[in-house]
Amino acid sequence: MKKTFSLSFLIAIFLIPIRASAQGCETPAYFSYIFNFGLGASAILAITMIVLGAVQMMLNAANPSAQSAGKDKITNALLGLALIFGSWLILYTINPDLVKFSQAFNDICNNPVQIPGGSIVDPGAPKFCVSFNNDTGATICGPSCSVATDCPGTPSGGTSWVCAPTNACQ
């Protein structure tokens, strides 16, 4: 039973509709779909267990232990449902964004983090020929380029040119 449920759950995760990754940051939508799917699946499973418990109670009217097992199924299904939706209610009461998965992930996706020792640069940004002066330690900025071979010969006192984004010359 556990193996079947686990396999069904893993397959169901991949059936959740998500867009192509080239359309932007879809992490919040993906987690939202999984969360909502989990809530819906738990409700369906709880209703199924309630029905099975009721059928077990009806079919075993002469057997008190089987009736007790049916009552336990119904009780456990209701407790599980109360636990899941109670936890959702607590999260929603604390902060509605905790169950929407929108703000926290959008902040991550829309605000790139500066990495020490480097930077995040727009790939379409203009580039310039850049060199390092060995004598003074200064950066030498040259003309615009698209690749390093567009740069002129080695500058006096400098190393070979590198075609770099604009922020290297600022």
- Looking at per-residue pLDDT, the higher value among 100 and 79 belongs to 79
Q: Which residue has the higher pLDDT, 111 or 14?
A: 14
Q: Which residue has the tokens 């500058």?
A: 155
Residues 6+ positions from 149 with CB-CB distance below 8 Å: none
Question: Strand 127-132's sheet: what is its strand order?
Answer: 139-145, 127-132, 162-165
* For range 84-89, the mean pLDDT: 91
Q: Tokens 């080695």 appear where?
A: 154
pLDDT of residue 21: 46
Task: Name the range with the highest mean pLDDT among 54-58, 97-101, 126-130, 143-147.
Answer: 54-58
Mean per-residue pLDDT for 84-100?
86
Q: Please name the amino acid found at residue 107.
A: D
- The answer to whether the CB of 142 falls within 8 A of the CB of 155 is yes
Cβ 84 vs Cβ 44: under 8 Å: no
On whether the CB atoms of residues 123 and 114 are closer than 8 A, the answer is no
Q: Is the pLDDT of residue 122 over 80?
A: no
CA–CA separation, 104 and 128 (whole Å): 36
Which DSSP letter does residue 140 get?
E
